[in-house]
Amino acid sequence: MKKKYIIYTALCSMLALASCESVLDKTDLGAASPDLIAGDSVLANIALNYVYNQNLPDWGGVTAISGIGGSVYSEESYNQGSSENKYLEGTLTQADVSDFGTALNANNNYGKIRTINSFIFDLGNDKLMDNGAKNRLLAQAYFFRAWRYFELVKLYGGVPLVLTPQDAVGQEARDASFIPRNTTTQCYNRIAADLDTAMKYLPTVWQSPSANWGRVTRGAAAALKGRVLLYAASPQFNPNDVVSKWQTAYDINKQAYDILTASGSKLFADYGKMWFSEITGGVGNSEAVFITGYNTSPGDQQKRNNGWEASTRPKYSTGSGGGSNIPSWDLVKAYPMKDGKKPGASTKYTYSDQLFYKDRDPRFEKTIAYNGSTWPMTNVTNNRLWTYQQYDANAKKYVSVENGGTNGSNTGFYCRKALQTSDVAASTLDASSTIYSGTDWMEIRFAEVLLNLAEAATGVGRLDEAYTQLKVIRARAGIEAGTDGLYGLKANMTRAEMFTAILDERQIEFAFEGKRFWDLRRWKLIEKTLNGTKGTKVVIALKTTGVPSDFAATRDGLKLDDIYTNYFTVTITPNALMTRNAIAWKPEYYYFAIPQAAINNNPLIIQNNTWGGAFDPLQ
């Protein structure tokens, strides 16, 4: 289904409402007056849709303002170019992470929180509306207030908790708006309380699923609370490993699991195709928990396309742009073998860099496109991707065979996750149509709920539960169970080994889903994992001797193992495009600085103690 919510609230849209399939079908810029909304749940829904539009996460799970968290912030892709990445280069300044907001703006975080608070305040004072309808509307607003504050807390630690709309006119109102930062603990408690309210009043399943596809549910609220409290229990916020924090995280993640499974949530059978199942026969994707909908509607007011398809596909297949989110060799090496063992550790499947693609975890083929792989991205069923280099005698250098030697992959690989191919696309995918992708983004999918539960269970010593969830994830992936039924997992792991196994599993399961950077950050592992490297890539080159003269014409019909064994050299090399110094993440980046402009605006704001202030984000 591609006709989804984008949000409309102007009064001129209201007359069209009755004819819409969904209450989340259009876009507009304003919010309806509370006087007009009073007692009318339909009009209140229109105002709520504006809240959805402002707060739904963008594709890839990056932050709304700074855009932190994509593949270039971890070893998934690194920064594939010569432009500076201040986070990884250790050159971040106090002003660079501006999500806190430094000016009055409806589109910064506190501007969005003000809109949510106004909605809650106005609807809370509505004496005419049915209480059931009102509580369901308020519950959705509380969900997004929790989401907005969590996005701030994971960046800075504690922030000022503004829970009512502030007056905007006059010196007295200005003075009253000066609010100090709440402690990080107070912020986590408020986020949890808002999500408790959401869980209390949201349905587990909305009536008319097609019309309400994308609305948050009780399970979504529980899953978000599970993610929030897992952060609170992680080393970034829990350096002393206080077990009670893990227990709190375990309790809510178990509750989220129970709520979602009772309402029909489960892993989608096909890992590679789960992104393309939205609404079928009135039933939504069983794996989707918290989603942002996109569409390909023809009208300007309805069209909302995501940029993932156009930015990620090879440049020659998009007509413009493309070639982003390219996997590094480091990510390629991270995938286990088909038996679940790490490359080199498996006794069943031999690994070699020369045949790196052979006998890997099935998620490898569904996430990474490599030289010689079958990838029907151009509606050619058996299309093969070729990214190797060959020697040009005239130019006296190696050049890529891809796209005539231009616009080729920088690492030899492409990401293929959530990209449409001929076996999932409803229409022909040509260079002009890729910019109109309507594939929905799953910010939280059921797999995360399972792995959040596994991690929290490990925190409280319930390692058997952690094993159970990891095995379910690996079974869906297609990894072999093995004679011990452990799907390649080490038996009798310690607590520390299990934490590591879960992070490794998250790296593979959620590759290019905006999770890896935040996982490394909340576990304070960025220096250990990334510092001192520029990343690596693979250079696959056609040999200059012993290659048939008609190789280019016959390669599609040859066996890939024979091609790699007889005609290619595979060389692992540092990523030469990263011309800067090696990665040098700094410890103070685990809590970013409040921008000085925000401190200048509010004299009660105190800077983090890792940036020269006195505020302790661990309190």
Q: When comparing pLDDT for 580 and 219, which is higher? A: 219
d(CA 590, CA 204): 35
- Same-domain check for residues 121 and 167: yes
3-class secondary structure, 290: strand
Residue where the block lists tokens 């576990």: 523
Query: Looking at the domain assignment, is residue 127 inside a domain?
Result: yes
- Same-domain check for residues 595 and 570: no
Kindly give, in sequence order, each residue whose CB lies less than 8 Å from that of residue 355, ignoring residues fewer than 6 positions away.
Answer: 561, 564, 565
Query: Looking at the domain assignment, is residue 391 inside a domain?
Result: yes
Alpha carbon 519 to chain centroid, angstroms = 11
Q: What is the pLDDT of residues 166-182, one digit of tens each?
A: 876 566 666 777 899 99
- Same-domain check for residues 353 and 383: yes
- Same-domain check for residues 619 and 538: no
d(CA 223, CA 206): 17
Q: Smallest Cα–Cα separation from 443: which of 294, 306, 295, 290?
A: 290
Please say if the pLDDT value at position 554 is more than 90: yes
Mean pLDDT rounded to a whole number for the chain: 87
Q: DSSP states of 34-53 as a string?
A: HHHHTT-HHHHHHHHHHHHH
Q: What would the two tokens of residue 174 be?
A: 């200005």
- Same-domain check for residues 341 and 422: yes
Q: Smallest Cα–Cα separation from 406: which of 323, 520, 468?
A: 323
- Same-domain check for residues 543 and 613: no
Dihedral over Cα of 169, 164, 613, 85: its sign = negative
Query: Looking at the domain assignment, is residue 550 inside a domain?
Result: yes
d(CA 241, CA 379): 52
Q: Smallest Cα–Cα separation from 109: which of 45, 72, 175, 159?
A: 159
Please say if the pLDDT value at position 384 is more than 50: yes
- Same-domain check for residues 353 and 384: yes
Q: 266-280, 348-362, 543-557: which range is least confident on average?
A: 266-280
Q: What is the pLDDT of residues 137-158, one digit of tens each?
A: 999 999 999 999 999 999 999 9
Query: Looking at the domain assignment, is residue 528 inside a domain?
Result: no
**What's the whole-number mean pLDDT along residues 423-444?**
72
431 confidence band (pLDDT: 50, 70, 90): low
Alpha carbon 607 to chain centroid, angstroms = 29
> Could you give the angle at the alpha carbon of 344 between the alpha carbons of 340 and 345, nearest 5°?
55
- Same-domain check for residues 98 and 152: yes
- Same-domain check for residues 104 and 48: yes
Query: Looking at the domain assignment, is residue 71 inside a domain?
Result: no
Q: Which pLDDT score is estimated for 305?
A: 82
Query: Looking at the domain assignment, is residue 525 inside a domain?
Result: no
216 confidence band (pLDDT: 50, 70, 90): very high
Q: When comparing pLDDT for 566 and 424, which is higher? A: 566
Please say if the pLDDT value at position 548 is more than 70: yes
Q: Which pLDDT score is estimated for 22?
A: 37
Q: Which pLDDT score is estimated for 25?
A: 38
Kindly give, in sequence order, each residue whose CB lies less than 8 Å from that of residue 331, ignoring residues fewer than 6 positions away.
Answer: 75, 76, 77, 368, 507, 511
**What's the whole-number mean pLDDT along residues 443-464?**
98
Domain enclosing residue 347, as ranges: 324-427+534-574
d(CA 462, CA 483): 23
Q: Which pLDDT score is estimated for 10?
A: 30
**What's the whole-number mean pLDDT along residues 129-139?**
93
Please say if the pLDDT value at position 573 is more than 70: yes
- Give the DSSP H/E element, type plus range, for residue 175: helix 171-176
**What's the whole-number mean pLDDT along residues 496-500?**
98
- Same-domain check for residues 328 and 405: yes
- Same-domain check for residues 135 and 162: yes
Query: Looking at the domain assignment, is residue 407 inside a domain?
Result: yes
Q: Which pLDDT score is estimated for 319?
A: 58
Query: Looking at the domain assignment, is residue 476 inside a domain?
Result: no
Q: What is the pLDDT of residues 55-96, one digit of tens each?
A: 999 888 787 778 899 898 999 998 766 678 889 889 999 999
Please say if the pLDDT value at position 16 is more than 80: no
Q: What would the two tokens of residue 235 be?
A: 């080393």
Q: 293-302, 330-339, 554-563, 590-599: which range is least confident on average?
A: 293-302
Q: Which pLDDT score is estimated for 127?
A: 84
- Same-domain check for residues 540 and 594: no
**What is the CATH number for 611?**
1.25.40
**What's the whole-number mean pLDDT along residues 304-333?**
84
Q: Which pLDDT score is estimated for 437?
A: 80
Q: 346-350, 371-375, 431-435: which range is least confident on average?
A: 431-435
If one counts the domains in the chain, the total is 2
As a whole number of angstroms, the longest Cα–Cα distance in the chain is 84
Q: 62-71, 103-112, 216-225, 296-305: which range is least confident on average?
A: 296-305
